[in-house]
Chains A and B, each alone.
Chain A
């Protein structure tokens, strides 16, 4: 793999780690398999792109994208807690609805950002090469989000939220509303996913209504890979594991794309298959490790 390809993979890994951290909140901390993220990722991209297209400051577009993602997440949470719709289905409903909403937001299936200022161009203008500027900014955002989550998971609300994913009966017995925890968790998660979407639009130079397909699988792959590599014991390690898992996932994909089998080489369109295989292998990993006795207790 070339150095250029490596930097590209790290850039992608950092970018999607922000999304994966959102998925981590729902799937792991809250035990709420939320599929709205396939809609909130392009939603973040759509909001940011169309606002930049109309001359809004790129940082401000990110804030608005986060708010939009959080609002969509709140809808999923309310569908589940208030209207008693199964969590998986609630997420799918939001995801489907967002496809239309995102088209409305953009007014077209695709918003190009070529020639527009983004949060990345501001650093490139200082003379830093683009690939370094991207890694630099995405790295800082990923670290900030990671640090924020570690802090959040240790707050009063964060403890109750983690306990909600573990034992709802206990949370209620201790006087906390599990519905409130689900609302906070799913909204926050989708806010982060939309943040990643907004950054994706800006780093790639466009927003596309179909760019969210497979978001959830990539997020899960990163989480599972991180758990296999770092182990998920403790909040701090788990959060760092998600970021490292996301980078490892993108590097693995980049390497897979260089493989030639016979005369046939893998193409980006094979990505979903590769991801599925990676998830299966990674899922086998913790099991294998406990079988050979690496994981105690």
Chain B
């Protein structure tokens, strides 16, 4: 499904700030697999996701999706089969557009936008029905501007928009990290539901080690731009948070504790 083939990414090449954010990572992800990604700050997790999504182009190596080399396919073209949710809950919706207008934009993902009405009246029932599944009362607020919603509500809307047109791949970059624990929990449950219902292939970056081990079927740990752990199956089920922390401190030294990796 997703094949990351010895990918490298360097920022500010040739300057004093030259920074190899991803130093040759390979990862083969099967259709329907749910991979959790952990690692210290600046270890290249977001860069890796952005490479898969096409916001960044690899300096070396290739990215294949369904056996097709997409390394040079533009971000917005890849969006036809990739849904993505970022950490910043405000980044996935347009605040000056209404909820239904945001959904209408998501309805057209992967299709040519022309001059038909954006919000079609026949779609409104579908929007309401979809919003009802969020259980946030948004189904009665179709005409409200997205900017009026709370961070959690906007993140829930983003998640819905990322999957409204079923993608092949869902990328989640610490998408609950900026939310309060209760809302984060809700968004997480919603994520799992959407992934399962749509049988999506997913990559989720998280700071939460327990989540990383309990959710999904495979866990990858990044450190300094390299993949330092890649476990699934029985090996993974035996792994505990303490094991992970130990691994972390071995990779990082005491910094892991200083950075509050718990």
Contact = CB atoms under 8 A, between A and B. Distances in A.
Interface string B79-113: 11001101000111111110001101110111101
B76 A162 contact: no
Interface residues of A, number: 24
Contacts of A169: 86, 91-92
Contacts of A158: 118
Contacts of B109: 174-175
B65 interface: no
A174 B86 contact: no
B115 A157 contact: yes
B50 to A, nearest CB: 11
Contact of A167 (B74, B76, B91, B113): B91
A167 B115 contact: no
Contacts, number: 92
A175 B101 contact: no
B27 to A, nearest CB: 22
A160 interface: yes
Please report whether the interface of chain B is mostly helix, strand, loop or mixed according to DSSP: loop
Nearest to A153: B118
Nearest to B111: A175
B239 interface: no
B95 A167 contact: yes
A150 to B, nearest CB: 12
Interface string A45-64: 00000000000000000000
A297 B116 CA distance: 33
Contacts of B118: 154-156, 158-159
B189 interface: no
Interface string A159-173: 110110111011111
A175 B105 CA distance: 9
Please report whether the interface of chain A is mostly helix, strand, loop or mixed according to DSSP: helix
Given A154-B119, A160-B105, A169-B86, A174 B79 contact: yes
B77 interface: yes
B108 A174 contact: yes
Interface in A127-181: 152, 154-160, 162-163, 165-167, 169-178
Contacts of B161: 174
A171 B94 CA distance: 8
B75 A167 contact: no
Nearest to A164: B94
A173 B75 CA distance: 7
B95 A176 contact: no
B256 interface: no
A166 B95 contact: yes
A156 B93 contact: no
Contact of B105 (A152, A154, A176, A177): A176
A176 B110 CA distance: 8
B16 interface: no
Contacts of A165: 96
A170 B93 contact: yes
Contact of B104 (A159, A167, A297): A159
Nearest to A28: B96
A178 to B, nearest CB: 7
Given A156-B104, A297-B148, A162 B96 contact: yes
B259 interface: no
B11 to A, nearest CB: 18
Interface string B214-255: 000000000000000000000000000000000000000000
B162 interface: yes
Interface string A262-297: 000000000000000000000000000000000001
Candidate in A155, A159, A175, A176 with the most chain B CB atoms within 10 angstroms: A175
Contacts of B162: 173
Nearest to B53: A173
B108 A156 contact: yes
A178 B79 CA distance: 13
Contact of A176 (B97, B108, B117, B119): B108
Contacts of B110: 175
B109 to A, nearest CB: 4
A179 to B, nearest CB: 9
A175 B114 contact: no
The 7 nearest A-B residue pairs measured at CB = A175-B79, A159-B118, A163-B94, A156-B113, A166-B94, A175-B109, A155-B115
Interface of B: 53, 55, 74-77, 79-80, 83-84, 86, 90-97, 101-102, 104-106, 108-111, 113-119, 148, 161-162
Given A156-B118, A159-B118, A166-B95, 8 more contacts: A154-B117, A159-B104, A163-B105, A166-B96, A167-B93, A174-B106, A174-B109, A177-B76
24 contacts: A154-B117, A155-B117, A156-B113, A156-B117, A156-B118, A157-B113, A159-B119, A160-B108, A162-B96, A165-B96, A166-B94, A166-B96, A167-B90, A167-B94, A169-B91, A169-B92, A171-B94, A172-B75, A173-B162, A174-B106, A174-B108, A174-B161, A175-B80, A176-B108
Interface of A: 152, 154-160, 162-163, 165-167, 169-178, 297
